[in-house]
Amino acid sequence: MEGNVSMKHPQLLIVEDEQAILHMLMTILKREDFRHIDTAGTAEEALEMCKAQSYDLILLDVMLPGRSGLEICPLIREISDASIFFLTARSTDLDKLTGFAMGADDYITKPFNPLEVAARIKAHLRRRLGNAPKHEPMLFEYGALSVNPNAGEVKVDGNPVDLPAQVYQLLLFFCKHPNQLFSKSQLYENVWGEEFFGEDNTVMVHIRKLREKIEADPSSPALIVTVRGLGYKFVPGDSHEFA
């Protein structure tokens, strides 16, 4: 069994209406030392629980009775900073792109190995909750953009910017490596911590979402530039790091 993913036990919410899948996930996650797990069977129930409780990660089924997981994902984003993993039988590239565009941090297709799900949750939460370097700067400032790693805050022109967890991790990685060129595979392996497969559009989708949030003109980006055929580079110009 792997060690704890963080200094505290993370709060999980599983939104799944199929009892067999729910039971399988609960059994494996508890065996893997996840102690605080809530469950919901409908979109409405999940939204109410997110209003009442702070979660670190939500496993969200796409096909739910009533409103779908895709519909409520943006609503959850408005009231929670939890990471969101979609669970779905839809496995086409278009489905995955749609899921990431709606705010998902990961996309798990059914049928799945519950041990793999647990491993992906642990890896994600370790990066999100437990892997901040001891001497990481308290603040990155790049012109109008400022990033506070300790508080998990991003501002543009002094205005708070709300980023999904994985988009924030991508920005933080860029902040730590300004003016360096990274291929899609390098970004995926460093930010997502998993092996990259050439047809995966995850990086492209998250780059687009990040540009929409921090660029003055996302269609003509000045901060995150594309180096055709090679990858992406964060070009912030004058920068300051405050320890």
* The pLDDT value given to residue 1: 34
The three-class DSSP label of residue 182 is strand
Q: What's the fold here for domain 140-234?
A: Arc Repressor Mutant, subunit A (1.10.10)
Helix ranges restricted to H, the chain: 19-31, 43-52, 69-79, 93-101, 114-129, 165-176, 184-187, 202-214
Contact 210/202 with Cβ under 8 angstroms? no
DSSP 60-108: EESS-SSS-HHHHHHHHHHH---EEEEEES--SHHHHHHHHHTT-SEEE
Structural element, H or E, at residue 40 = strand 36-40
Q: 1 Cβ partners below 8 Å, 6+ apart?
A: 32, 33
The pairing of beta strand 240-242 with beta strand 224-227: unpaired
What was the pLDDT predicted at 211?
Answer: 95
Domain ranges for the chain, please list them: 11-129, 140-234
CA distances to 43, 77, 120, 208, 225 from 217, rounded to whole Å, are 35, 24, 34, 12, 12
Q: How many Å apart are CA 78 and CA 150, to the nearest integer? A: 21
CATH number of 11-129: 3.40.50.2300
pLDDT truncated to tens, each residue of the chain (243 aa)? 333 343 357 899 999 999 999 999 998 898 888 888 999 999 999 999 999 888 999 999 998 988 888 889 989 988 888 999 998 877 666 777 777 777 788 888 888 888 888 888 888 888 776 554 444 556 888 888 999 887 778 999 999 999 888 899 899 999 988 888 999 888 988 888 766 666 568 889 999 999 999 999 999 999 999 998 899 999 986 544 444
β 83-88/106-109 pair status: parallel
The β-bridge relationship of strands 11-15 and 36-40 is: parallel
Q: Which of 161, 146, 143 is closest to 210 using CA atoms?
A: 161
